[in-house]
Chains A and B, each alone.
Chain A
Amino acid sequence: AQSVTQPDIHITVSEGASLELRCNYSYGATPYLFWYVQSPGQGLQLLLKYFSGDTLVQGIKGFEAEFKRSQSSFNLRKPSVHWSDAAEYFCAVGPNNNDMRFGAGTRLTVKP
């Protein structure tokens, strides 16, 4: 069965600093991988996804993620964080676009 782990429950970074949110997955084959962002009381917005091809994926809002098969990881990165990036971030994994499982989430706080 697939599973996804986000080791960091809460991360605080200063505005303008770089960011990396970790995501590790367990799955037998190459899964579909996603990163979503959720603002308080809102639904989820897709930042980026990976299913094949180039392992470095570019997303919206300046985010990128890199699929590393050897490490079973799909970490999310942003070179310079903005105050508006403060939110909850979810990594998700699945065999396809339908059967997704979400990680526990990482809450990002941005210091001025």
Chain B
Amino acid sequence: GAVVSQHPSRVICKSGTSVKIECRSLDFQATTMFWYRQFPKKSLMLMATSNEGSKATYEQGVEKDKFLINHASLTLSTLTVTSAHPEDSSFYICSARDSRAGMHQPQHFGDGTRLSIL
């Protein structure tokens, strides 16, 4: 089945540093990937839609300069949290859809990244 790999699974870093999270589709191509943020005991909030070879589409209220998204290939999207602060601590999850699959094929999710900013 379709597998999405997310790395790292957990990261702890100091305030002010930048953190990069990778999302890879392992056995399919994905022209579109999605980045979600999940607060403790809360639902997933769509942050942005990542489009291969073009700029990401950000949801209202999400700072694009804070959360940099790059989708340089059909199998990799990265989310960089720039100058991270404690309020950026969260669980970040990516998902992807198989570009060659029919329109009814769902998103496949990675296992998430737990980001903790000290």
Contacts and interface: CB of A to CB of B under 8 A. Distances in A.
Interface in B79-118: 93, 95, 97, 103-112, 114
B97 A97 contact: yes
B46 A43 contact: no
Interface string A78-104: 000000000000100000111011111
Contacts of B25: none
Contacts of B109: 36, 43-45
Contacts of B107: 97-98, 100
A95 to B, nearest CB: 11
Interface string B30-51: 0010100000011111100100
Given A34-B106, A90-B44, A98 B97 contact: yes
A51 interface: yes
Interface of A: 32, 34, 36, 41-46, 49, 51, 90, 96-98, 100-105, 107
- A-B complex: 6 closest residue pairs judged by Cβ atoms: A43-B109, A44-B109, A43-B111, A102-B43, A102-B44, A104-B43
